[in-house]
Amino acid sequence: MKKTAIIGGGASGLICAIFCARKGVEVDLYEQNSKCAKKILVSGNGRCNITNTNLTYNDYFSQNPLFVEFALKEFGFLEFEKFCHSIGLLLDAKDDGRVYPLSNEAKSVASLLINYAKNLGVNFHTDTKITDIKKLLNEYDAVVVATGSEAASHLGGNSDGLEFAKEFGHNIVPTYPSLVQLHLDSKIVKKMSGAKVDGEVTLLINNKKKLTSKGDILFADYGVSGFAVLDISQSASVALMDSSHVSISINLLPSFNAQKLSSHISSLALNMPQFTILDILAGLVPLKIAQALLEDLDILSSISADKINVKLAKKIANQLLNWRLEVTDTHGFRHAEVSGGGVDTTEINPKTFESLKKKNLYFCGEVLDIVGKRGGYNFAFAWASGHLAAKAISRN
Ligand SMILES: Cc1cc2nc3c(=O)[nH]c(=O)nc-3n(C[C@H](O)[C@H](O)[C@H](O)COP(=O)(O)OP(=O)(O)OC[C@H]3O[C@@H](n4cnc5c(N)ncnc54)[C@H](O)[C@@H]3O)c2cc1C
């Protein structure tokens, strides 16, 4: 019987262990934490956005984006769904393509995968950090590096897999935090800490519009977070790494255009002369934001509405729809959901996930230079790559 060691008990390591064991491969799974699947447990705010019904290479960022094509074809949504059904894990596909467990609980995903793997005879070695990969390769017929990325160190994120890869001469594409909050260069932002809007964020790189995203925008002491921000963070992070000038434009009221908004402000000012300028803005955006916005424009919040002329109304409307703020940094790997960069995929067989530099050594999941968008794409790649590595190991 073939003996395989899997380093990492996260999404890709667990599915790899399951498919190896199903084919009769003897599996030892090593996990540094006392429990496996820590990232699965916290994923999707405890609900686990487990995959997506629409998976294409366009949903991934990499220096070699076509690398994911074969894996997504071989083990795309339908194949994954079939596997989930086989272990009693029913799925709930939303209209936008996001898929969650029917139980709506990440816990059920983690426990089903772990218990099923245990029932198949996978030997779990928790609290066991692998440091010597060469020794492991001497002891086993195959070794799978499923160690994930540096993102979220409190859950086990580290760069061990990259260090292992380097030992065999692999190139490492520089890593960067992705799906991460952004730091802004503005003292004003701190004053909005805790405020939240459903708005639009546009990323500008060297003052050119790169992409726009809609959704939650949350202000914090350090800058901004929220889904709209996470969705532009990959491109922002790469641009910061390249030392480009990075800024964002926040549209606090996407349902208005400039004309409509300045007319609204002017007519309200006319009808409510007893109001202050702050009262007028407080009907449009959270108070903290209104105060900070006026401060940023050097406008006294106590100015009475009858002092608002057309020029001032336009100025305020413009700031509400296009508030430019400089991005200085990301909130770092510790807070990132995923990491971009990783083991160079041009040195990995896309059909087997075996290293092209070292026979019987496999890499799967986030340790590779593949990072997905938000929406279940990162788990989708972890499942697909772990499955293909297992298929190759059990066939060889
Ligand atoms: C807060 C948060 C929410 C997320 N939500 C989603 C979501 O809803 N949908 C989605 O698609 N993706 C989500 N992700 C991303 C997703 O969790 C990862 O892409 C996925 O877990 C990667 O799987 P992996 O197997 O490559 O790595 P991991 O799941 O990180 O597993 C790697 C494992 O290897 C272990 N390990 C590392 N080094 C060693 C060593 N030397 N020896 C032994 N063990 C080691 C680690 O402890 C870890 O358990 C989220 C991530 C975070 C942090």
- Residue of the CA atom closest to atom 27 of ligand 1: 148
* Nearest atom of ligand 1 to the alpha carbon of 45: 3
Residue 394 Cα distances to 23, 24, 100, angstroms:
6, 8, 29
Nearest to 393 by CA among 111, 131, 145: 145
Are the C-beta atoms of residues 297 and 319 closer than 8 Å to each other? Answer: yes
- pLDDT in the model for residue 1: 54
Are the C-beta atoms of residues 117 and 17 closer than 8 Å to each other? Answer: yes
- Burial call 151-173: b when 16+ CB within 10 Å, e when fewer: bbeebbbbbbbbebbeebebebb
- Burial call 288-297: b when 16+ CB within 10 Å, e when fewer: ebbbbbbebe
Look at residue 136 and give its three-state secondary structure. Answer: helix
**CA-CA-CA-CA dihedral for 310, 314, 320, 323, to nearest 10:** -140
* Nearest atom of ligand 1 to the alpha carbon of 148: 27
- Residue of the CA atom closest to atom 33 of ligand 1: 8
The CATH number of the structural domain formed by 258-319 is 1.10.8
Exposed, middle or buried: residue 349 (CB in 10 Å: 0-12, 13-18, 19+)? middle
- Residue of the CA atom closest to atom 23 of ligand 1: 11
Beta strands in 206-297 (DSSP E): 208-219, 223-225, 246-251
Are the C-beta atoms of residues 312 and 164 closer than 8 Å to each other? Answer: no
| Distance in Å, CA 210 to ligand 1 centroid | 29
Q: How many CA atoms lie within 13 A of 298 on its CB side?
A: 0
- Classify 208 in phi/psi space as left (phi over 0), alpha (psi -120 to 50) or beta: beta
Are the C-beta atoms of residues 249 and 323 closer than 8 Å to each other? Answer: yes
| Distance in Å, CA 10 to ligand 1 centroid | 5
Best probe residue, ligand 1, of 153, 175, 378, 387 (max atoms within 8 Å of C-beta):
378
- Residue ranges covered by each domain of the chain: 3-175+341-395, 182-253+324-330, 258-319
- pLDDT in the model for residue 113: 98
- pLDDT in the model for residue 322: 98
Q: What is the mean pLDDT of each run of 10 residues along the chain (396 residues)?
A: 91 98 97 98 97 97 97 98 97 98 98 98 98 97 98 97 98 98 94 97 98 97 97 98 97 96 95 94 96 96 92 96 97 98 98 98 98 98 98 93
- Residue of the CA atom closest to atom 29 of ligand 1: 10
- Residue of the CA atom closest to atom 37 of ligand 1: 147
The CA distance from 359 to 212, in Å, is: 44
| Distance in Å, CA 40 to ligand 1 centroid | 7
| Distance in Å, CA 121 to ligand 1 centroid | 23
The domain defined by 3-175+341-395 carries CATH number 3.40.50.1100: no
Contacts of 85 (CB under 8 A, 6+ apart): none
Ligand 1, pocket residues at CB < 6 Å: 7-13, 30-33, 38-39, 42-44, 48-49, 129-130, 146-148, 151-152, 155-156, 158, 160, 337-338, 365-366, 376-379, 382
Best probe residue, ligand 1, of 377, 379, 388 (max atoms within 8 Å of C-beta):
379
| Distance in Å, CA 255 to ligand 1 centroid | 37
- Residue of the CA atom closest to atom 6 of ligand 1: 43
| Distance in Å, CA 201 to ligand 1 centroid | 27
Are the C-beta atoms of residues 190 and 377 closer than 8 Å to each other? Answer: no
Are the C-beta atoms of residues 366 and 176 closer than 8 Å to each other? Answer: no
| Distance in Å, CA 340 to ligand 1 centroid | 13
The total number of residues shown for the chain amounts to 396
- pLDDT in the model for residue 2: 73
Look at residue 37 and give its three-state secondary structure. Answer: coil
| Distance in Å, CA 147 to ligand 1 centroid | 8
| Distance in Å, CA 377 to ligand 1 centroid | 13
| Distance in Å, CA 211 to ligand 1 centroid | 27
Q: How many CA atoms lie within 13 A of 291 on its CB side?
A: 11
DSSP assignments along 73-100, one per residue: HHT-HHHHHHHHHHTT--EEE-TTSEEE
- Name the CATH topology of 182-253+324-330: Elongation Factor Tu (Ef-tu); domain 3 (2.40.30)
* Nearest atom of ligand 1 to the alpha carbon of 336: 53
Q: Report the chain's terminal Cα–Cα distance, integer Å.
A: 12
Best probe residue, ligand 1, of 16, 39, 72, 383 (max atoms within 8 Å of C-beta):
39
- pLDDT in the model for residue 164: 98
Q: Which two tokens stand for residue 280?
A: 């007028």
| Distance in Å, CA 365 to ligand 1 centroid | 8
